[in-house]
Amino acid sequence: MATSLAPLRVGICGLGTVAQGVLRLLSENASSIALRAGRPVEVVRVASRRARPGVDLGAASFGTDLRALATDPDIDVLVELIGGEELALELLETALKAGKPVVTANKAVLALHGDALMALANVHRTTLGFEAAVAGGIPVIVALTRGLAGNRVRWLAGIINGTSNYILSAMTSAGRRFADALAEAQALGYAEADPTFDVEGIDAAHKLTILSALAFGTRFRFADVYTEGISAITPEDIEFARQLGYRIKHLGIARDTGHGIEARVHPALVPAGHMLASVDGVMNAVLIHSNAAGDTLYVGAGAGALPTASAVVADLIDVARDTAGPPAPDPDVDQRMLGIEDIVSAYYLRIPALDRPGVFARVATVLSEYEISIEAAVQRAEAVHRDDGGPWVPIIIVTQDVPERVMNEALAAVQALPDVVGQIMRIRVADLGHD
Ligand code: HSE
Does any ligand 1 atom lie closer than 6 A to the CB of residue 161?
Answer: yes
**To test the ligand 1 pocket, which listed residue (161, 168, 211, 310) has its Cβ within 8 A of the most ligand atoms?**
161
The alpha carbon of 72 is separated from its chain's Cα centroid by a whole number of angstroms, namely 33
Whole-number pLDDT of residue 325: 76
Catalytic residues, by residue number, are: 207
Does any ligand 1 atom lie closer than 6 A to the CB of residue 419?
Answer: no
Cβ-contact 313, 319 below 8 angstroms: no
In the three-class reduction of DSSP (H, G, I as helix; E, B as strand; rest coil), residue 324 is classed as: coil
Please list the alpha-helical segments (H only) found in 289-431.
305-320, 359-369, 404-415
Q: Angle 162-174/235-243 helices, nearest 10 degrees?
A: 70
Does any ligand 1 atom lie closer than 6 A to the CB of residue 70?
Answer: no
Whole-number pLDDT of residue 203: 96
In the three-class reduction of DSSP (H, G, I as helix; E, B as strand; rest coil), residue 368 is classed as: helix
pLDDT per residue rounded down to tens, the chain (435 residues): 555 789 999 999 999 999 999 999 999 999 999 999 999 999 999 999 999 999 999 999 999 999 999 999 999 999 999 999 999 999 999 999 999 999 999 999 999 999 999 999 999 999 999 999 999 999 999 999 999 999 999 999 999 999 999 999 999 999 999 999 999 999 998 887 789 999 999 999 999 999 999 999 989 999 999 999 999 999 999 999 999 999 999 999 999 999 999 999 999 999 999 999 999 999 999 999 999 999 999 999 999 999 999 999 999 999 999 887 777 766 666 789 999 999 999 999 999 999 888 999 999 999 999 999 999 998 766 656 565 566 788 999 999 999 999 999 999 999 999 999 999 999 999 999 877
Residue 271: enclosing H or E segment and its boundaries?
strand 261-271
Whole-number pLDDT of residue 120: 96
In the three-class reduction of DSSP (H, G, I as helix; E, B as strand; rest coil), residue 213 is classed as: helix
Whole-number pLDDT of residue 90: 98
Give this prediction's pTM. Answer: 0.95
CA–CA gap between residue 170 and residue 168 (Å, rounded)? 5
Atom of ligand 1 nearest to the CA of 284: 6
10 Å Cβ neighbour count for 179?
A: 10
Residue 353: enclosing H or E segment and its boundaries?
strand 344-354
Whole-number pLDDT of residue 388: 58
Contacts of 87 (CB under 8 A, 6+ apart): 66
Whole-number pLDDT of residue 288: 98
Does any ligand 1 atom lie closer than 6 A to the CB of residue 302?
Answer: yes
Cβ-contact 366, 411 below 8 angstroms: no
Atom of ligand 1 nearest to the CA of 192: 1
Does any ligand 1 atom lie closer than 6 A to the CB of residue 106?
Answer: no
Cβ-contact 335, 260 below 8 angstroms: yes
Cβ-contact 293, 151 below 8 angstroms: yes
Contacts of 347 (CB under 8 A, 6+ apart): 398, 399, 402, 407, 426, 427, 428, 429
**To test the ligand 1 pocket, which listed residue (169, 190, 203) has its Cβ within 8 A of the most ligand atoms?**
203
